[in-house]
Structure 1
Amino acid sequence: MADRAPVVIDPSGRDIHAEAARIRAHGPVTRIALPGGLAAWSVAGHEEARRALADHRFSKDPRKHWPPLAEGEVAADFPLIGWILMDNLTTAHGDDHHRLRKLIAKAFTPRRVEAMRAGVRAATAELLDALAGAAPGEVVDLKARFAHPLPARVICDLFGVAPGDRARLLRGGEVNVDTTVDAAEAAANVERWHRDMQEFVDAKRRAPGDDLTSDLIAARDETARLSDSELVGTLHLLLATGTEPVMNLIANAVRALLTDPEQLRLVRQGRVTWEDVIEETLRAEAPVAHLPFRFATEDVELGGVTIARGDPVLVNFAAAGRDPGVHGASADAFDAARKDKTHLSFGHGIYRCIGMPLARMEARIALSALFERFPDLTLAVAPEELEPQVTFIMNGVLRLPVRLSATRHRGRPGGRGETPVTPR
């Protein structure tokens, strides 16, 4: 298998699942060629991905464990440079990763996340009220007007980003996952993103508030447990991952229900829960498709191949979620009623996503409220006309055009327990 020609990754992500299946057909761990000609490995099998995520021999620190970077062989215009130059959990290993994770985990304790529930409901209600103002039959981009602004507002409120600054500070993360941008634009984005975030940190240092950015600055200034670079890089990470994957989770769940009336009927009849829908979306439509980077710190045997020391590795969540070895012949089908919804979309072990409880809560409130408010919600285009997000790293749609049709009461969404939609 290792002798086969590498699978050349499509930078535009035109068909995430077809590419994942093609990679998996070569084996659970397969050679790929990334933009810029970089040779890497894709871990596409579920069991192999789980093992790789828990294996300390795979480092996320390119400065220490990717020889071409240490030896100055990686040009500043490398197309995926943004995934290399960040200084945060995504590029930390060992003690540094543990230190950063411990600091950031304080932002997402169960108590703090639960305290955010009222704010998520309020933001959801406000966005749905705005949607309700659409003219009858008007086509609305649900991604732009609901799936994106909801998690963006929640994470920006948490970190004290003023409304007027949000688009600017979130733009860097949006460009970073667009794998169609040319090398010069990718490099310019990293520089601009870092400068904008540093200006934000400087402003917070001058005028701290009751927010997590101010808390991180205080932790950095009082204990020096965060370098300035780590502080800025951590904000890059948390603002981007608090928005983009949750956006795709919500949009992908809506798309799945609107393209399969039987699945939506199961929800309306209370035969499956919103938790079922969310977990099946995470399995079958992983919001993050193919995540860079890990680097082997020594030769590692995995999935029948040898990953050499220093080789770059990507975890293929889109492929792992649809592994027929785990989910059988129906692995490609979205079925919220399936019993085994095992997935790795939030990572595994020491790399499990810190924001997982918040993401699930946001999706739960958003989906139940949306379908309660707009029970006649329909796609405005044929499913095959939906365009993919222009990236092989994320798995989502470029736009989600819908017609809202009828509306229900304007009360606060979710109520006592965000119950499933019932037929009327």
Structure 2
Amino acid sequence: MAQQPPLVLDPTGADHHAEQRALRERGPATRVDVLGVEAWSVSDPVLLKKLLTSPDVSKDARAHWPGFEQAVSTWPLALWVAVENMFTAYGPQHRKLRRLVAPAFSSRRIAGMRPAVEEMVNGLVDRLAGLPANGPVDLRQELAYPLPIGVIGHLMGVPENRRDDFRVLVDGVFDTTLSPAEAQDNAVRLYGVLDELIAVKRRAPGDDMTSLLIAARDDESDGSRLTPDELRDTLLLMISAGYETTVNVIDQAVFTLLTHPDQLELVRTGSVGWEDVVEETLRHEPAVKHLPLRFAVTDIPLPDGQTIARGEAILASYAAANRHPGWHDDADTFDAGRTVKDHLAFGHGVHFCLGAPLARLEVALALESLFERFPDIRLAVPADELEPVASLISNGHQRLPVHLHGH
């Protein structure tokens, strides 16, 4: 079988739907170029779920990727493979790190956070109502951004006066147009802010996840203490994963409802609920298009006769898989009333996103409050004028300008 040249993924994400179609047309898995690193993009959901649950696939680049050392010094996405937390852990190490973080996302704790999330949503929507009625409002800036950063700040104990710093630096982690030097500078500054947060919480612990992780880091009694790097990188993971992704889901859900009035009408007539809109948004426009990287622990034969060789990188192409025609009927169509709501927006297997229930809660409450308060809300510009976020990872718009009130 002749080898196809790698498909070069667009770092700006300018036309991700065309890119996803191209990936699916090339088969269940195909070679791609990710900012100069070659990997296997997997877009077939059956194969992807199999790989995501296989012990033959690792997220530990240090142990299982021969290209690790070079990538760390030259690849703009080095942080995605170099961090030491449960995102990049494999086997027993992953289980240890996940066990430390899981209590923050228990169903009891999430239920306990609901009043705080509702209060934040209502405060933001009240603020929107107080803005001048005649001008457009950027909802990404005024709602999609501040809600998740407020929620994760509350959960992690990030002081309000430092949340904007985290926001800007986390945006840089997802920006795939940065040069290696720019990405490295962004990482250095981000770690500086994390170190400051750790120092503050050491001096004055609170009822927050950062304080709990520091206590775990300093407790040697059960042999599971965190190293200093694991502590910093676990905080990085929880703040970045809990923030950037939820911003995009709110953005995409609002955009989709404003461009599909028939779907908004289904909610208003009670045919579907806000939770249905959230699930279909996660399937139709997931917050993360491609997630770097995983690695073959051994040779992995593919259904079409190809082989992912030991040590080769694997890219989970969630957005392409979610719209695979073999998984969903009319997969490119947004249909909040779908009976089959399955998707891979939160991953699959042992690395399934712990924060999924919290993200779902945030988005549903934000949508309900926004559309109840502003029944005449509409886009302020034609839909095709909206620019995507400059990223092959993150899936949102740079701006989401709307008119909140009627003509």
TM tier relative to shorter chain: over 0.9
Aligned twin of 1:316: 317
2:189 to 188, 192, 197: 192
Aligned twin of 2:33: 33
Instruction: Indicate conservation of the 8 Å contact 1:77/1:187, yes or no.
Output: no
Moved more, 109-118 or 344-353: 344-353
Cα deviation code 1:136-194 (max 9, x no counterpart): 23100001100111011001011110111112123332101100111110111122212
SS of residue paired to 1:76: helix
SS of residue paired to 2:48: helix
Aligned twin of 2:71: 74
Aligned twin of 1:332: 332
Please give the root-mean-square deviation of Cα atoms over the aligned residues, in Å. Answer: 1.4
Aligned twin of 2:156: 159
**TM-score, normalised relative to structure 2:** 0.96
Letter in 2 for 1:212: M
Cα deviation code 1:207-229 (max 9, x no counterpart): 21221111110111013521110
- The gaps in structure 2 that reach 5 residues or longer are none
Query: In 2, distance between residues paired with 1:309 and 1:235?
Result: 31
Instruction: Indicate conservation of the 8 Å contact 2:87/2:351, yes or no.
Output: no
Instruction: Indicate conservation of the 8 Å contact 1:2/1:31, yes or no.
Output: no
SS of residue paired to 1:30: strand
The offset of 1:84, in angstroms, is 1.9
Paired residues in the alignment total 403
Instruction: Indicate conservation of the 8 Å contact 1:77/1:186, yes or no.
Output: no
Query: In 1, distance between residues paired with 2:165 and 2:253?
Result: 27
Aligned twin of 1:179: 176
Q: 1:75 to 1:351 in 2, by over 3 A?
A: closer
Instruction: Indicate conservation of the 8 Å contact 2:12/2:390, yes or no.
Output: yes
Query: In 2, distance between residues paired with 1:325 and 1:132?
Result: 44
SS of residue paired to 1:375: coil
Letter in 2 for 1:210: D
SS of residue paired to 1:89: coil
User: What is the correspondence of 1:261-272 to structure 2 with a 5 Å cutoff?
Assistant: 261-272=261-272
Aligned twin of 2:121: 124
- The gaps in structure 1 that reach 5 residues or longer are 407-424
The offset of 1:68, in angstroms, is 2.3
Aligned twin of 1:381: 381
Query: In 1, distance between residues paired with 2:13 and 2:253?
Result: 19
SS of residue paired to 2:71: coil
Letter in 2 for 1:94: G
Aligned twin of 2:402: 402
The offset of 1:49, in angstroms, is 1.3
Cα deviation code 1:297-338 (max 9, x no counterpart): 11112342211111111101110110000113x111111122
Aligned twin of 2:201: 204
Query: In 1, distance between residues paired with 2:83 and 2:198?
Result: 16
The offset of 1:281, in angstroms, is 0.5
Letter in 2 for 1:54: T
Identity between Structure 1 and Structure 2 (%): 48
Query: In 1, distance between residues paired with 2:2 and 2:209?
Result: 46
Aligned twin of 2:139: 142
SS of residue paired to 2:301: strand
User: What is the correspondence of 1:270-281 to structure 2 with a 5 Å cutoff?
Assistant: 270-281=270-281
Aligned twin of 1:299: 299
Query: In 2, distance between residues paired with 1:358 and 1:101?
Result: 17
User: What is the correspondence of 1:337-356 to structure 2 with a 5 Å cutoff?
Assistant: 337-356=337-356
Instruction: Indicate conservation of the 8 Å contact 2:72/2:82, yes or no.
Output: no
The offset of 1:374, in angstroms, is 0.7
